[in-house]
Amino acid sequence: MNRKHMLTIAVALLAAALMPSCTSSGIGGLSAYHAYDRPAKLPKNPASVKVKVSLSKQRAYVMEGSDCLLAMPISVGAPGSPTPSGNFRIFNKIEKKRANTHGYAHNGGSIKQTMLSKKPAGWLFKGTPMPYWCEFKPNYGFHTGWIKHHPCTHGCIRMHENLSPKFFRLVKVGTPVHIAYSQPEDATHGNIPLPPDSGPLPDYAGTMYIGDGYFTRHKTPTFE
């Protein structure tokens, strides 16, 4: 084997070593994302449940007194569109909520993501699905969405597809929500495994969003 051939093989091996693994991105990462889950338990007294959100940690804790019913990763508002902080109460719950201003225009087999105001003439429109919507301030709520490892939303709080139905079951209209830069629970319950960052993952087909598929894209929720 000549020197040039050996150099070519070495370069190829180095490139392969530097390539992202399919277990952390792409289809393999999507499988890991689908498999992600966190344990949850039902409260003894539903009236005592409260939600605490840590913006800096991107965590939400469903608490009953000092007992943590569910600790989960979330995605919060990007710097230009922050999630509001303060004390709130959940005042609206809709299992199959759709956005009013943004979503998907479709015409036959063509589907494209757009604002309602920019929908092509003659095309139909379906708002972005926001499953398991729990509204705590007008136009701000918890809902299913892609989880990234950095603040990325327009102010809402995104939950992983397998955890949003659990959260929806644990809270009710009137449940208190406290949102702050940090929470004491960050130290005691915040160090949990995370799903793969959804940023590099392939998105679902547009048909998932204009139909009902995204509303059922989750595991059957179980509780301890």
Tens of pLDDT, residue by residue over 54-69, are 999 999 999 999 999 9
Contact 192, 40 (CB under 8 A): no
Beta pairing class for 59-64 and 110-115: unpaired
pLDDT confidence of 13, banded at 50, 70, 90? very low
Report the 10 Å Cβ neighbour count for 221.
16
pLDDT at 3 over 50: no
Beta pairing class for 176-180 and 49-54: parallel
What's the rounded mean pLDDT across residues 127-150? 98
Residue type, 61: Y
Q: What is the pLDDT of residue 26?
A: 62
pLDDT confidence of 132, banded at 50, 70, 90? very high
Q: What is the pLDDT of residue 117?
A: 96
Mean pLDDT of the chain: 90
Could you tell me the domains of the chain?
43-216 (2.40.440.10)
The set of residues, in sequence order, having a beta carbon less than 8 Å from that of 18 and lying 6+ positions away, is none
Report the 10 Å Cβ neighbour count for 42.
13
Global pTM value = 0.87
pLDDT confidence of 28, banded at 50, 70, 90? confident
**Token pair of 213 as six digits:** 């598929």
Residue-wise pLDDT tens digits, 67-85: 999 999 999 999 999 999 9
What's the rounded mean pLDDT across residues 33-37? 97
Contact 32, 23 (CB under 8 A): yes
Share of the chain above pLDDT 70, in %: 88
The 3-class SS string of the chain reads CCHHHHHHHHHHHHHHHHCCCCCCCHHHHHHHHHHCCCCCCCCCCHHHEEEEEECCCCEEEEEECCEEEEEEEEECECCCCCCCCEEEECCEEEEEEEEEEEEEEEECCEEEEEEHHHCCCCCEEEEEEEEEEEEEECCEEEEECCCCCCCCECCCEEECCCCHHHHHHHCCCCCEEEEECCCCHHHHHCCCCCCCCCCCCCCCCHHHHHCCHHHHCCCCCCCC
pLDDT at 22 over 50: no
pLDDT at 11 over 50: no
What's the rounded mean pLDDT across residues 131-149? 98
Residue-wise pLDDT tens digits, 89-109: 999 999 999 999 999 999 999
What's the rounded mean pLDDT across residues 194-206? 95
* Rg, the chain, Cα only: 21
Highest-confidence segment of 6-10, 25-29, 92-96:
92-96
What's the rounded mean pLDDT across residues 21-41? 79
C-alpha dihedral sign at 137, 213, 205, 198: positive
